[in-house]
Structure 1
């Protein structure tokens, strides 16, 4: 960016900027590379799905996902992320209306930020492809290059996204009233209400109700892809 930005645009990733749930799609790809059986993936998805449908907070389900990666080499995960992106991108990974919105913000000179409960192995190739200025995500804890199954901080979900957006707007002396946010899930309401120009993607009932009430713009969501409600 050659000049100081006057606005920022914050983008949720899963089911907003991309058409799938990155953590689940990545897990299947990575475990496939490791030779793990499809039954292992099915069981893992079912366990996460059960937690969500039982009302377990998304933050806890997010932590449960990273415990599935305990003992994985960070370098192997990063390699799987690059290969996963190379495999998925030609198959329609990006959601066209949101991808085009991000392009418009780039052309306008706005700061562009991805906010996600997913992690760098999945998100780094996505951020590079769209030339995002920042990727703010969940950070798994590592020891000697291996994931411990725990996190260095709370998951980048819910209020954590809004607080991250606030820090960035403050750091760049941006007026929140001038900034934009794009998201698809009710858990993203805090970040949407933290800016002056929220955009709802898809048909989440909580967000569509709020959009109708406050005349927020809406974009269509991607076709359903994956087995779980959005966990990132």
Structure 2
């Protein structure tokens, strides 16, 4: 069996999820009062990152935690509906060529995976009509059906993506030499190197350089 692994931000989705999440909360008719709480929480790790005192991975995880914490005591149903609103804004900004590739892989019987640091319920909503066999994202915990800001957030990034991919595949025998991986960022280099067919999608400068040297397809 072949695998086809797709990144989300900058790959399937042409924009940046966290930027959209921030704006959606800031101007939301019901939840905009939560924005200031989120903003106050996100500034210390962000400033620390800019001063090179906080690693980027830590800053990103704390940012995800801060976002969810703003919705403390919201029900799973309410937050799922909120993420569906965000997903509706994303659907017109999907990379149509990447979407076609995903559909083609599904038609060929490949195991299609979407791997991202974005929140899983958001990814589920965006890909509801797409042929994705497994969505891997940052999980949201709802003890007793209610969001609890004290629940730790395990942001899916860097080496965690590889861990989650292998865990999701389980005992499936994957022909990695014949498999595909799609991403826009050099941060996903381990995933791109995992598959025999790496595709750089609108790549950042460092990934474009690597892709050119290695003869990878640039989309």
Please, what TM-score do these two structures have when normalized by structure 2? 0.83
**Equivalent position SS for 2:160:** helix
Question: Is the contact made by 2:183 and 2:203 (CA closer than 8 Å) also made in structure 1?
Answer: no
What's 1:225 paired with?
A: none
**Equivalent position SS for 1:118:** strand
What's 1:68 paired with?
A: 67
Give deviations 1:104-141, integer Å, cap 9, x for gaps: 11121111100010112311112212121100111133
What's 1:18 paired with?
A: 13
What's 1:3 paired with?
A: none
1:25 and 1:148, CA in 2 relative to 1: closer, same or farther beyond 3 A?
same
Of residues 192-201 and 158-167 in structure 1, the stretch that sits farther from structure 2 once superposed is 158-167
What's 2:149 paired with?
A: 148
- After TM superposition, the structure 1 = structure 2 runs for residues 1-232 of structure 1, keeping only pairs within 5 Å, are 6-31=1-26, 32-36=28-32, 40=36, 43=39, 47=43, 50=47, 53-55=50-52, 56-65=54-63, 66-70=65-69, 71-73=72-74, 74-89=76-91, 92-144=92-144, 145-148=146-149, 150-151=151-152, 154-169=154-169, 171-219=171-219
1 or 2, which has the higher helix percentage? 2
1:83 and 1:108, CA in 2 relative to 1: closer, same or farther beyond 3 A?
same
**How much has 1:172 moved relative to structure 2?**
1.3
Cα distance in 1 for residues equivalent to 2:114 and 2:37? 27
Give deviations 1:6-56, integer Å, cap 9, x for gaps: 211000101110112223313432451434269749947983764554454
1:16 and 1:76, CA in 2 relative to 1: closer, same or farther beyond 3 A?
same
Please, what TM-score do these two structures have when normalized by structure 1? 0.79
Uncovered stretches (5+) of structure 1, i.e. residues with no partner: 1-5, 220-232
Question: Is the contact made by 1:68 and 1:149 (CA closer than 8 Å) also made in structure 2?
Answer: no
Question: Is the contact made by 1:141 and 1:148 (CA closer than 8 Å) also made in structure 2?
Answer: no
**Equivalent position SS for 1:147:** coil
**Equivalent position SS for 1:146:** coil
Give deviations 1:139-188, integer Å, cap 9, x for gaps: 13333311325435x32111111222333455211121121110111211
Cα distance in 2 for residues equivalent to 1:94 and 1:8? 21
> How many residues matched?
211
**How much has 1:206 moved relative to structure 2?**
2.0
